[in-house]
Amino acid sequence: MKVLSKDKVTALLDKIAQQAAVFVPMANENGSGFYPWNDEHKTRPLLLNALNVYTSPKYVLFPQTERMYDLKQQGQDLSIGQTHEDGSKRVIFGVRACDARAIRCLDDVFLTRGFVDSFYQARRDNVTLIGNACYAPGVNCFCEAMGVAMTEPETDIILRDAGDEGYIWEVKTEPGEKLTQAVAEFLSDKELKAPEAKAFQTQVDYAGVAEKLKGMFDDPIWERMSQPCVNCGACTYICPSCHCFDIQVKMWGDQGYRFRCWDSCMYAEYTAEAGGGNPRPTGVERFRNRFLHKLQFFNERYGYALCTGCGRCTIVCPTGVRITDIIKEIKEVDSSVEL
């Protein structure tokens, strides 16, 4: 098997960075996240041994703010200028299984079912994912319950931490093989054993929840469960799989550009209608929609949950809302009782 010695990681990243933009898990003054491997950030601590970082690599494929195309008004006509589809090569290094599953969610949303988002596709077609297998889940982790295999991230290459001996380097796809050939000088042949996976501390049973939720749209449980929620939207912005966005136009004189930016279903403005109506006028409806989307709607469309079990929303929620508690409460509802 191929092995990457830990003392060669930085040299390998330098090599890859000569051919593509590399994003790695790092600490920063505000926490941690995925940042470019360049001269500005190299002095930051590399967090390959950390359980996970505070923010996911979602923005690498789906930027928080993205310029789409330029436009110019000429009398009554409006002409479209440059389209900003960024197809530069990127490598995301050290992706955990929960974040890799989130990227699969984005792939399904933006690239399947008869519609292709060309801005997302330009990035996705040129991204190689190097995963970092998990063997010791944290107190807020529950990816296994959501159908995610923590030791098998859905990536082009998987790193398996074998301790002082280095990382087992496991190629899974053709792009992974191509990258492996480019960095062969940093890899050696050696037989190592991956660590044993530890048990999850957080236990939750998602089985049957999506089906059960079909009959719970008007259940009074939503009123009770939503009471702590202040609709701040923090959960949606920290989530690696949330993908709501807004599109706006910036104009000055007769020219400008159209851009999109992340939005949140937890805000009243998100569903505000031009005529003044709003199908989700209160926090209860917005709370219900978020969790129905995560646990039912996405599953109905794509065959798996939109939640990847990373636990980030639990960590950032200022009022202690936990999606695992919501799943448990849904499981406990007596579906035989007529509403």
Q: What is the per-residue pLDDT for 96?
A: 98
With a CB cutoff of 8 Å and minimum separation 6, the contacts of 87 are: 122, 123, 125, 126
The mean of the pLDDT values for the chain is: 95
pLDDT at 31 over 70: yes
* Whether 58 contacts 106, CB under 8 Å: yes
* Rounded-to-integer distance, Cα 204 and Cα 144, Å: 9
User: What residues are paired with 87 via a beta bridge?
Assistant: none
> Which helix (H) or strand (E) element contains residue 160?
strand 157-161
Q: How far out from the chain centre does Cα 241 lie?
A: 4
* Whether 23 contacts 92, CB under 8 Å: yes
> Which residue in 295, 315, 308 sits closest to 140, CA to CA?
315
Which tens digits make up the pLDDT trace of 272-293?
999 999 999 999 999 999 999 9
pLDDT at 336 over 80: no
Cβ atoms < 10 Å from Cβ of 244: 17
Compute the average pLDDT of residues 57-82: 91
* Rounded-to-integer distance, Cα 17 and Cα 11, Å: 10
With a CB cutoff of 8 Å and minimum separation 6, the contacts of 66 are: 84, 119, 259, 260, 261
* Rounded-to-integer distance, Cα 313 and Cα 110, Å: 23
Q: What is the per-residue pLDDT for 338?
A: 52
Q: Which two tokens stand for residue 49?
A: 């041994």
How would residue 75 be classed by pLDDT, with cut points 50, 70 and 90? confident
- 231 to each of 15, 106, 239, 264, 284, how far by Cα in Å? 44, 23, 15, 9, 9
SS3 of residue 293 by DSSP: helix
Which tens digits make up the pLDDT trace of 192-244?
999 999 999 999 999 999 999 999 999 999 999 999 999 999 999 999 999 99
User: 119 — phi, psi (to 5°)?
Assistant: -70, -45
* Rounded-to-integer distance, Cα 308 and Cα 146, Å: 6
> Which helix (H) or strand (E) element contains residue 234?
helix 234-238
Compute the average pLDDT of residues 320-330: 97
Q: What is the CA radius of gyration of the chain?
A: 22
* Rounded-to-integer distance, Cα 161 and Cα 195, Å: 7
